[in-house]
Structure 1
């Protein structure tokens, strides 16, 4: 009986971990922009538009956009493929604001955070000043 219970707990834990979103899969491959909001509000929509208007710059800098709401999240700009989970929201929400933008570098560290719309210019300047990005730019010349 104890073996059965242990086996069930192990299987249940594994299934739950598969459902959890793990951003570490991007480490050393992608930079991440997390747009976190309590709801799809005006700032949320404006931030998406700002980034969509600079898709080539996002691609060039290996940026993956995460849209994160309290119960769901998705990557990119499409309206489909939302996944049910509150883990990312709980981990990255700002206690003092209903909107937050976060840049996570290739190394998995938080590089920039703000609670106002992040301009593509500021985002790109921040990334382009990083040693890893400068190395990438030298290699691509």
Structure 2
């Protein structure tokens, strides 16, 4: 009975997971990278500020496997990302997505590199990465 219930639960979960008709452009990055996602209307000043923070800290971002993706405009990839994050794109939002695909952090203001690095460095997977690098 327990095995049957477990099997039914696993099959139901797999069906729900594969039932998404629109794959997010973020899916290819899962288990490879952490993703800093900027959602904003075109020309948003906060989005530009977040972009500059990312670029100015490129070495630290690379060390932590953080890649930048933007969901700006009306193209399919931007819409898919906004849908995945339940963001409307009418205002600035930034999300840090962990390698496991879950949202680790979100804000309506640009995030400093120090804040991002502290958050990532506290993640169990990152701590394991640092331990293995020694």
Rounded Cα–Cα distance in structure 2 between residues aligned with 1:27 and 1:84 = 16
Matched, 1:53 2:47: no
Rounded Cα–Cα distance in structure 1 between residues aligned with 2:61 and 2:30 = 16
Q: Which runs of 5+ in 2 are unaligned?
A: 1-20
Question: RMSD value over aligned CA atoms?
Answer: 2.2
TM-score (norm 1): 0.72
Rounded Cα–Cα distance in structure 1 between residues aligned with 2:113 and 2:24 = 26
- Equivalent of 1:24, from 19, 27, 31? 27
CA contact under 8 A between 2:39 and 2:94: conserved in structure 1? yes
Matched, 1:99 2:92: yes
Q: Closer, same or farther in 2 for the Cα pair 1:86/1:126, shift >3 Å?
A: same
- Equivalent of 1:62, from 61, 65, 68? 65
More helix by share: 2
Q: Which residue of 1 aligns with 2:124?
A: 131
